Amino acid sequence: MSSSRGRFISGLTAGTGALLVRGAPAVAQPYNCFRPGPRTRATPWTKPDQKVLERKAAWSLSAADANVVKLRAAYKKMQALPQSDPHSMIAQRNMHAYYCDDCPNISTNQQIHGSYRFFPWHRAFLYFHERILGSLIGDFSLRLTYFDWEVAAHRAMPPIYTAAGQSLLHPRALPNGSPVYPASDFTIVPSMMTYVVDDFMGDAGAGGTPEAKPHDYGHTAMGDDMGVLNTAAFDPIFFCHHGNVDRMWASWQHYHPGIDPGGAYSTLRFSFWDEHKKWVSIGVADVADTTNLGYTYASFIPTTARVVKREILLQLATPSRIGPPPPPEQLSDAASVDIHLRGLAVPADEGFFLVQAVTPDGKSHDLGTFATIPHVAGGGMSMSSDLRKVNLVLAVAPEVARQIATAGTTFRIQQRSARNARSSPNLLLGQGVPKVTPARIGALSLTVR
């Protein structure tokens, strides 16, 4: 038994340890509540001597591409490793599950979804995953790919992942093998490049809009293991989907150089197993620039450069009702309006949601949609709802903005899909019985462009 295996086993938490008997074959855990690392302190990460190479779009690559050949060989090795090996696909899955912070008897406050931890943690996770894959084939020029779903023609599974008889293919029950993506929540991706930091990256207590969509949309639309946080990283497409989520951040950083969420953000550190099976910690400063991690993206996401004329703060009389409205002339020159619902509490169900405003005349206005991904299969997010808030931006027509920016307008959330993403992976808007709840919002404003 190698020393790394010994360390890994000693890191199991009480309550789950009984399932792994020394010397016995590893028993796959349903919900992956393994403490991923040793209880000893992590060593600070130091940058290895590595080339800066491009991560390319999965749709631009064929089976003959040298990097695809490397990826397939590396995943094959990773999938063959036992759970006790921190480089195994199971251990990678468990690492992600652990950081969802939903494990009984573990109080780590390590939830990496639903706040500004989301982008830097996943960037670091992908980096170490990429290095581990490289180490498995002895070739550190291997790079991950990205799923460029902002391109309408690419909103289906990239063929290099779906071809039969190779390691990038993961079983999924989608009727035609491909997810159905609600186009509207992907076509807004370029406009997200103009978001201010709180709306893009989130803050200490709320995730940014891109986390809810397209990120959560992508997961739930693919379903199966990808449709649930606990198992998502068992599927190689996770790292392709997140490649593009990370590319969104890299692109946003390109348009907003040097901007981060402030506060305690700069002190965040995360721990991972590195390619040498060393438990290391990496800080947000280390991951701020992708070239420090040895990669760039073949292209940035284009932006819709719309000049912001002004931001109008709206008063909330209650968490779902507008108080005294702003002078209406502030909207008279609007070409388009973004409505910012900061700290919107995410309903404790997974699925697709429609945000609606009901004006004092009783009319209801559809403002836009968002998605949430559950932690475990079977429905209902077991995460504390305080940890799942989103700073949601919705683009509305100026005429709609004029109508809703009225004292007495209320906001509500309508659930538009079945509860269980795993049993009905291809969730479509409009299916299921709509459930309506009042929206709870922390702050409300309009951006006039």
Q: Is 113 in the site for ligand C2O (CB under 6 A)?
A: yes
Pick the closer one to ligand C2O by CB: 92 or 410: 92
Pick the closer one to ligand C2O by CB: 110 or 296: 110
Q: How far is the CB of 388 from ligand C2O (least distance, A)?
A: 13
Q: How far is the CB of 267 from ligand C2O (least distance, A)?
A: 21
| Residue with the two structure tokens 């506060």 | 263
Q: How far is the CB of 229 from ligand C2O (least distance, A)?
A: 6
Q: How many residues bind ligand C2O (CB under 6 A)?
A: 8
Pick the closer one to ligand C2O by CB: 365 or 375: 375
Q: How far is the CB of 95 from ligand C2O (least distance, A)?
A: 10
Q: Could you give phi then psi for residue 190, rounded to 5 degrees?
A: -60, -35
| 200 SS3 class | helix
Q: How far is the CB of 16 from ligand C2O (least distance, A)?
A: 21
CA distance 321 to 3: 59
Here's the x/- map for ligand C2O, 222-251, by CB under 6 A: it reads as -------x--x---------x---------
CA distance 387 to 220: 19
Answer for which of 219, 342, 389, 416 binds ligand C2O (CB under 6 A) is: 219
* DSSP per-residue codes, 63-111: TTSHHHHHHHHHHHHHHHS-TTSTTSHHHHHHHHHHTTT--TT------
Pick the closer one to ligand C2O by CB: 221 or 229: 229
| Contacts (Cβ under 8 Å, ≥6 apart) of 62 | 68, 160
| Residue with the two structure tokens 């739930």 | 220
Pick the closer one to ligand C2O by CB: 245 or 357: 245
- Segment 121 to 150, residues that bind ligand C2O, using CB under 6 A: 122
CA angle 205, 210, 214 (to 5 degrees): 135
Q: How far is the CB of 437 from ligand C2O (least distance, A)?
A: 24
Pick the closer one to ligand C2O by CB: 237 or 280: 237
Specify whether the CB–CB gap between 326 and 445 falls below 8 A: no
Specify whether the CB–CB gap between 359 and 365 falls below 8 A: yes
Q: How far is the CB of 118 from ligand C2O (least distance, A)?
A: 7
- Select from 209, 190, 183 the least CA-distant residue to 304: 190
Neighbours of 423 (CB within 10 A): 14
- Segment 183 to 202, residues that bind ligand C2O, using CB under 6 A: none
Pick the closer one to ligand C2O by CB: 96 or 389: 96
Answer for which of 215, 342, 375, 389 binds ligand C2O (CB under 6 A) is: 215
Q: How far is the CB of 373 from ligand C2O (least distance, A)?
A: 7
| Contacts (Cβ under 8 Å, ≥6 apart) of 27 | 19, 20
| Contacts (Cβ under 8 Å, ≥6 apart) of 100 | 111, 112, 113, 229, 230, 375, 383
- Segment 72 to 101, residues that bind ligand C2O, using CB under 6 A: 96
Pick the closer one to ligand C2O by CB: 219 or 342: 219
Q: Which residues bind ligand C2O (CB under 6 A)?
A: 96, 113, 122, 215, 219, 229, 232, 242
